Amino acid sequence: MQVQVINKQIREHSIENIINKRDRKKDKKPLQAYAASWANKDRLYDSVGYTIFIVLPTSGCQWATESGGCTMCSYIADSPLCEISDENLIEIFDNEWKKQLEKTDITSHENVAIKLFVSGSFLNKNEVDVKVQEHIFNVFSKYDNIKEVIVESKPEYIDEDSLKWLASIIPDKIFEIGIGLETSNEDTRLNKINKGITNKSFERAVDTINSIDEYDIRAKAYLLVKPILLSEKDALEESIESAYYAKKVGVKRLAYCPSTVHGGTLMDYLWKRGSYNPPWIWTTIEIIKEVRKNVDIPMIMDTAGFGTRRGPFNCKKCNAKLKSLIIKSNLEQEIPQELEEFSCECKNKWYADLEFSKILNTTTNPKS
Ligand code: SF4
Ligand SMILES: [Zn+2]
């Protein structure tokens, strides 16, 4: 319980600071400036394709404002922290979509996926009204080559009627709901991540998704590699166990997010005091090897933040090379031979961490 109390205090303090800072600024950032979009080559279920990422600023994750939120997440700090009208949100989306259309002729790409992010849950109607949801999905419905539409939601906002209604707007596309499971270990999820969801609520949401036959709706699990208060070894083992669990309960795709330390979070508080370090890149590679070989659903290892001071790190000699090999592995959904055989002198330190970090609560990874 103490973790939740400290987490809430840190979050409230961080939000207060952000609001004060923004109030002091004469030129307030327009709402549109909180939005973003970009595109790149990415893995779809059946092929490599063109993926458009769109981030929409919404009023903020309800879980973060009510409870302090998850101990690694700073989405709330990046949101405008005010009410946004439906008209505003539609306008913001239209602008981002227009930007993407100006960049490329979408119809020239054979397979396109859309990944839509809001400040919390797309399916939470308090955050994204049905009117806005409908507008956005209507836009996607006009393009036959958009094969996948991916949104994120906490399990409590996933219900059959809403899913069917949204899927009916894009009936020929894969509609994927990404859920932040983070780990299959309930103690870690509730007490170290403060996610506020149980395995039961996750399984109920996945069952609801899988019970709908008329449309191709799929569940994806986001898994966090190395939450706070976990040794390197435990983090590695939990990440692998979580893949087995997710597959068993009906998840169709996995997305691992190795921790990067974001400001204003409990993770950041511990990191600054030397009580937390993001995972080794070796740990993420071990997960890739184990999961690709033994869990036969698509899996992506996110490489954002790799090799940075606040992100997953090995040593300066091998960070960049391994990051590019992991991206290759994501695109091909295989383990490149070079990744399988790769070694570096820093690997012995990682082995030492696996063996002793639990006992000593230390790390040999100095991020120099
Ligand atoms: S991870 Fe998701 S549920 Fe948790 S605080 Fe961030 S946006 Fe909210
Ligand atoms: Zn190295």
Quick one: what percent of the chain has pLDDT higher than 90? 84
Joined together, the tokens standing for residue 184 give 């299959």
Residue with CA nearest ligand 1 atom 2: 120
Measure the CA angle with vertex 150, ends 149 and 154; round to 5°.
145
270 pLDDT band (50/70/90 cuts)? very high
* 8 Å CB contact between 342 and 322: yes
Predicted confidence (pLDDT) per residue in 105-156, tens digit: 999 999 999 999 998 899 999 999 999 999 999 999 999 999 999 999 999 9
Check pocket membership of 224 for ligand 1, CB cut-off 6 A.
Answer: no
Tens of pLDDT along 4-19? 999 999 999 888 888 8
Of 328, 285, 236, 332, nearest to 44 by C-alpha is 332
Whether residue 146 has its Cβ less than 6 Å from ligand 1 = no
Q: What is the DSSP letter of 148?
A: E
Mutate to test the pocket of ligand 1, among 4, 7, 11, 61 (most ligand atoms within 8 A of CB): 61
Tell how far the Cα of 308 is from the centroid of ligand 2, in angstroms. 14
CA-120 nearest atom, ligand 1? 7
**Assigned superfamily of 2-360:** Aldolase class I (3.20.20.70)
pTM over 0.85: yes
pLDDT in tens, 276-296: 999 999 999 999 999 999 999
Ligand 2 center–CA 294 separation, angstroms: 26
| Rounded Cα gap, residues 360 and 366, in angstroms | 15
Residue, of 360 and 48, whose pLDDT is higher: 48
Q: What is the chain's length?
A: 368
Distance from Cα 104 to the centre of ligand 2, integer Å: 38
Angle at 182 between CA 181 and CA 186, to 5 degrees: 80
**Is there a contact between 257 and 227 (Cβ–Cβ < 8 Å)?**
no
Residue nearest to atom 7 of ligand 1 (CA): 120
The Cα–Cα gap between 253 and 181 comes to 12
**Which run of H or of E encompasses 263?**
none
52 lines ligand 1 (CB under 6 A): no
**368 pLDDT exceeds 60?**
no
Domain boundaries, the chain: 2-360
Query: How many C-beta neighbours within 10 Å does residue 110 have?
Result: 10
Instruction: Please work out whether the CB of residue 57 comes within 6 Å of at least one atom of ligand 1.
Output: no
Q: How many CB atoms lie within 10 A of CB 348?
A: 11
132/359: higher pLDDT: 132
Q: Is residue 86 very low, low, confident or very high in pLDDT (cuts 50, 70, 90)? A: very high
Helix axes 130-141, 160-169, angle to 10 degrees: 30
Report which ligand 1 atom has the smallest distance to the Cα of 64: 5
**366, pLDDT greater than 70:** no
CB of residue 61 inside a 6 A radius of ligand 1: yes
Ligand 1: distance of its center to the CA of 247 in Å?
A: 22
- Work out the pLDDT band at 335, boundaries 50, 70, 90: very high
Task: Please write the tens of the pLDDT for every residue from 300-333.
Answer: 999 999 999 999 999 999 999 999 999 999 999 9
Q: What pLDDT sits at residue 18?
A: 85
Mean pLDDT across the chain, nearest whole number? 94
Quick one: which H or E segment has residue 210? helix 199-211
